[in-house]
Structures are given as structure tokens and as C-alpha cells.
Chains A and B, each alone.
Chain A
Amino acid sequence: MKKEFYNIAKLVTQNSKVLDVGCGNGELMKYITENISKDIRGIELSKSNVQKCVEKGLTVIEGNAEKDLRQFPDSSFDFVILSQTLQAFLDPENVLNELLRIGKKAIVSIPNFGHWKVRLHLLLKGTMPVTKNLPNEWYNTPNLHMCTIKDFENYCKERDIKINLKNLKFHNFFSELGIFILEK
């Protein structure tokens, strides 16, 4: 399993009610189900990923987070997880608002466009950065709204979203990924 998932799972309280938005093939959900809380479900857009979740015996709702989060009542989950998907939404601002409405806490991870390798790639090669976390070319990337850790922190500050970092230390220059616990 990806190291990122261990780091996210660590932030989830035992036996809490969890929603994994864009749960992919269910790897993280499966880990959380087996180790932290059985009260977890996911939303996933891709049919093949939904089938993989089903095969793992996970509760998955096939749907689109941009439209389907609104059906959940306020504060209906203890944690809402969004792993490296925020940048791919048409309207990430709306999705973030929804996450913070339906979750008491939101755990959000983003690929950091401010990482030194990304910066160096653009500086030296003069082409759009392609890295382990950002493997696509400019013409086929699903990422519509790339940002840096610093951008994201600024965004939260402007909107009075509390970033609860706890033990996490992420740096705009050295971290390929930012993981945040957000509260409204």
C-alpha cells in the first residue's frame, strides 16, 4: 500500500464514521476497515474501480463527488477523506466546502506543485513537470487545478478553514505531497 495511505489512516480515529471520496480501488478503505473502523464507505466515479471495491467487500457508492456529496446531511461523518483528487475537480472550491459541511473533519492530500523536483523540472527542462506523483503529460493530465502546499495553506487561511496539522510536518519545497486535517 502507498505510504500516503498509512499516513492518512493514522489520522482516522478508531471506530469513527468515515467517507472516502474518490476511493479508487478501495485500497485505503480496506486498510481502514481492517485496522481502524468498519464504519466506512466510499464514493467512486470509475466503474472498474467500483467493481474492485465490490470485490473487496467494501461499501461503495458509484457516483460523482462534484454532484453527489450534496445528498449527505451536515456533519454526517467524523472524517471525510479526499486523497489526491482535489486538483482534478472542475470546481474544487465547491467540493472542499461540501467536505467540510458533511465531515466533522476532512483529511485532504494534494500533490505539491511546489516540490523542488517540480520546480527544477520546469526551470531546467522548460517543459511541464512529469514526476512520480504527477505522471501525466500536459495534454492528458486529469489535473485541472494544480497548487502548491503554500497555495493551499493560503486558501485555507483566507476562508477561516482551520488546518490541524498535529504531527504532520509538510514543507512546500521538500514534500511531494501535502496531507492536511481540515476543520471549519
Chain B
Amino acid sequence: MNKFNDIKKIIVEKPLKLDCGQTINNYPLAYETYGKLNGDRSNAIMIFHALTGDQFASGINPITKKDGWWNYALGPGKAIDTDKYFVIASNVIGGCMGSFGPSDINPNTKKPYGTNFPVITINDMVNAQYNLLDYFKIEKLFSVIGGSMGGMQVLQFVSNFPNKALTAIPIACTASHSAQNIALNELGRQSIMADRNWQDGFYEEQNKQPDKGLAVARMAAHITYLSKAGLQEKFGRKLQERDDLKFSFDADFQIESYLRYQGSVFVDRFDANSYLYITRAMDYFDLTKKFSGNLSKAFEKSDTKFFIISFTSDWLYPTSENRDIVIALNAIGKNVGFVEISSDKGHDSFLLDVPDFLNTVKYFLNTSYKQIK
């Protein structure tokens, strides 16, 4: 697609056998880097984005012209200090920011893949991104970091490549997607599919966009990223530019207006089919499955030092699920730290200005880096 001509990408020639059974090759993987790789290539960090993120984690996203999704955490002098570290971020396969995704043209039909795109998994995403280590000739990453679905990728990365990351920071995530989270994702998918414009996933060839469905999916999901207390504090029952109720279905309340806005801006930057594919990948994520339910076994061969972070008001990926990862690592004597950060900002806390969280990442990285220098 034209708008992605100027962004960085590699074409991965090496065939990748997907979990669904199909094999892909010569596929694009879009990436961005921050900071400079040092002489002995020991300061590289790979960060993984969440459901609707992309490779533009810091600065201004050149496609959307919006701030990068991790501006609070990533940049010069910040928690992930790009004066010090070389940070690689890529767009997951299945995504819509230049990596191989459902809006790419299928060379056989000359039309967008749509729902003929193969179902991908977190495992597939991580295996695709691993090619960037070869591309940058990095023997071992200093760290792998990510929140939410990015955290799942961190766990999968360490499990797949047990000696390729010195440290790992999975944030606000889980090792096995819960029934509640599958349910919430299904709600979003059904909302998209219920939009007439969706056309079984082949909307692009008909020049249609299931904007309404995608917006509702985003609105529902957005609620899950916040907390009840946070919502109450920010919006309460405040009215939207009016003195009293209008006895209609307009957005009387600020929270309604806010959600509608979130939905409307989301459709400008995100592809509905990508939303389906990526939420499916999250639902399929269960790191314990391959190991007969024993999560410890996923990390048995790893020498990675972990630091796991959760948030008090995150009910989407609650502390208990993050703690299960800590328990699995402790059970096999691995090096792991764990902190539950106090925040009323819900699951979104990892994207926001939460000083205790940012400090935790910063101190852990800097101390670990000192130890290898």
C-alpha cells in the first residue's frame, strides 16, 4: 500500500510455518528503531506492541501523525532510555501498519486477502519478529519488553528463544488468555461482523469500511482498559456541554461522548480485519498448552532474568494472572522480580504517566545493564 512506502521494513524470505499449518515467505515486516546500536551489539531491546499498537512507539507516528503509543516510557532519558539503548519495535504480522496483514494484496487473486488471510498466533508473531535479530546481527538482546499482548509476546519469545534475551519485562499480561478476555474479544469481533459493510471480510474490494462495527468494538474494549474508579473520577455523571438531560439518545453524558470519540478516531487508524485477526491470536494464546498445563516448563531452558509488573486496578489482566507467571518461574528457581503498581488507571496504566511504573522499568533496566558492563 502506498502510504507505507516510506516506512522501514524487511522482506522476510525465510519461510515461516504458521501454527494454522500454512507457510508464508517473502512477507513484509515493518519496524522502527530508536537509539543507536553500540559496538558490541549488547544494548538492543526489542519491544512488542499491544493489540492496536504498532512500530511507532515513540515520537510522532508518521502515518497517523499522532504521538507514539509508548511516549511516556520510551525516549531519550526516559524509562527505556534511547540515549543508552537501541530499541527495535515492529508491527506484528496480522497488523495494519506495514507488516504482512489482511489488507495486503493476495498475489494469486490480486485482491486484498481479507478473511482469506491465515489465522495467526502470538507464536507466529514472535517467530516473524525474530528475523529482526538476524537482520541487525544481534546475538543476544539486552531485553524484551511489552505490555498486554506485548507481554504475551515477551513470554512467548523467551520460551521460544530461551537464550536470546538477557532480561525480560512482561507487563500487565497473562500466560493464558482467560474466558473473560476471550468473551470480550468475541464481543468486539461480533460487533465488526454485524456491520453490513464488513462483507464477510472483503470490504476493501467493495470500497466499504465497517466503521460502525469497529467503532463499537473499540468503545467496548476501551471500557475494559480503564477502571471503575478511574472512570468515576474522570467523568462521574458529568454532562456533555449541556445543563440538563435532553431526554434523547444523544451523548448527554461526558463518558458517552468520550467513548464515541474514541471509537471514531480509532477507525481512521485501524483495520477491522486486523482487529479480528489480532484478537483471535490473543484468544489462542496459552503458553501452558504445549507443556501439559505446566507453565514452568515453558521457561525451563531459559537463562533470562525476569521482572514482572501488574497494576492494582487492572481487571483485564489482573495481578493474580501476572503472579501466576512469577510463581511458575520461582518454582524452577529462575531469577524473577515482581511488583504490583498502585494505579487507578486500569489496564491502560502501562501506557500512561504512572511514575512508580516508569521508575520500576528504569531501575531494573539500568541495574541489569550495569551488571553486564
A→B interface (CB under 8 Å): 38, 41, 47, 50-51, 54-63, 71-73, 76
The answer to whether B340 touches A62, judged by C-beta atoms less than 8 angstroms apart, is: yes
Q: How many residues of B contact A (CB 8 A)?
A: 25
Q: Determine the chain B residues whose CB is within 8 A of the CB of A72 once the complex forms.
A: 330-331, 333
| Alpha-carbon separation in the docked complex, A51 to B360 (Å) | 7
Instruction: Give me 11 A-to-B residue pairs in the complex whose CB atoms sit less than 8 angstroms apart, sorted by A's number.
Output: A41-B337, A47-B342, A54-B363, A54-B364, A57-B364, A60-B337, A62-B339, A71-B327, A71-B330, A72-B330, A73-B331
Add 20 more A-B contacts to A41-B335, A73-B333 (CB < 8 A). A41-B336, A50-B339, A54-B337, A54-B339, A54-B360, A54-B363, A54-B364, A55-B359, A56-B363, A57-B370, A59-B307, A59-B335, A60-B339, A61-B336, A61-B337, A71-B327, A71-B330, A72-B331, A73-B331, A76-B333
Q: Determine the chain A residues whose CB is within 8 A of the CB of B327 once the complex forms.
A: 71
Q: Given that A54-B360, A54-B363 are known contacts, is A73 also in contact with B332, CB under 8 Å in the complex? A: yes
The reply on B356 being an interface residue by CB < 8 A is yes
Q: Determine the chain B residues whose CB is within 8 A of the CB of A62 once the complex forms.
A: 338-340
| Alpha-carbon separation in the docked complex, A60 to B306 (Å) | 11
Q: Determine the chain A residues whose CB is within 8 A of the CB of B363 once the complex forms.
A: 54-57
Distance in angstroms from A15 CB to nearest chain B CB is 14
The reply on B248 being an interface residue by CB < 8 A is no
Which residue of the partner chain B has the closest CB to A43? Answer: B338
| Alpha-carbon separation in the docked complex, A59 to B332 (Å) | 16
| Alpha-carbon separation in the docked complex, A63 to B364 (Å) | 18
Distance in angstroms from A43 CB to nearest chain B CB is 9
The answer to whether B359 touches A59, judged by C-beta atoms less than 8 angstroms apart, is: no
Which residue of the partner chain A has the closest CB to B341? Answer: A47
Distance in angstroms from B305 CB to nearest chain A CB is 8
Distance in angstroms from B369 CB to nearest chain A CB is 10
Which residue of the partner chain A has the closest CB to B337? Answer: A59
The answer to whether B359 touches A47, judged by C-beta atoms less than 8 angstroms apart, is: no
The answer to whether A54 touches B331, judged by C-beta atoms less than 8 angstroms apart, is: no
In the A-B complex, the 6 residue pairs with the closest CB atoms: A57-B367, A71-B327, A59-B337, A71-B330, A61-B338, A76-B333
| Alpha-carbon separation in the docked complex, A154 to B367 (Å) | 43
The reply on B61 being an interface residue by CB < 8 A is no
Q: Determine the chain A residues whose CB is within 8 A of the CB of B80 once the complex forms.
A: none
Q: Given that A54-B359, A55-B359 are known contacts, is A71 also in contact with B338, CB under 8 Å in the complex? A: no
Q: Determine the chain A residues whose CB is within 8 A of the CB of B364 once the complex forms.
A: 54, 57
Q: Determine the chain B residues whose CB is within 8 A of the CB of A76 once the complex forms.
A: 333
The answer to whether B359 touches A71, judged by C-beta atoms less than 8 angstroms apart, is: no
Residue from A47, A50, A71 in contact with B331 in the complex, judged by beta carbons closer than 8 Å: A71
The reply on B166 being an interface residue by CB < 8 A is no
The reply on B288 being an interface residue by CB < 8 A is no
The reply on B326 being an interface residue by CB < 8 A is yes
Distance in angstroms from B81 CB to nearest chain A CB is 15
Q: Interface code B323-358, partner A: CB below 8 Å = 1, 0 otherwise?
A: 100110011110111111010000000000000100
The reply on B106 being an interface residue by CB < 8 A is no
Which residue of the partner chain A has the closest CB to B310? Answer: A62
Q: Determine the chain A residues whose CB is within 8 A of the CB of B332 once the complex forms.
A: 73
| Alpha-carbon separation in the docked complex, A182 to B342 (Å) | 36
Q: Determine the chain B residues whose CB is within 8 A of the CB of A54 once the complex forms.
A: 337, 339, 359-360, 363-364
The reply on B366 being an interface residue by CB < 8 A is yes
| Alpha-carbon separation in the docked complex, A96 to B195 (Å) | 61
Distance in angstroms from B308 CB to nearest chain A CB is 9
Residue from A55, A58, A63, A73 in contact with B338 in the complex, judged by beta carbons closer than 8 Å: A63
Q: Determine the chain A residues whose CB is within 8 A of the CB of B340 once the complex forms.
A: 47, 62
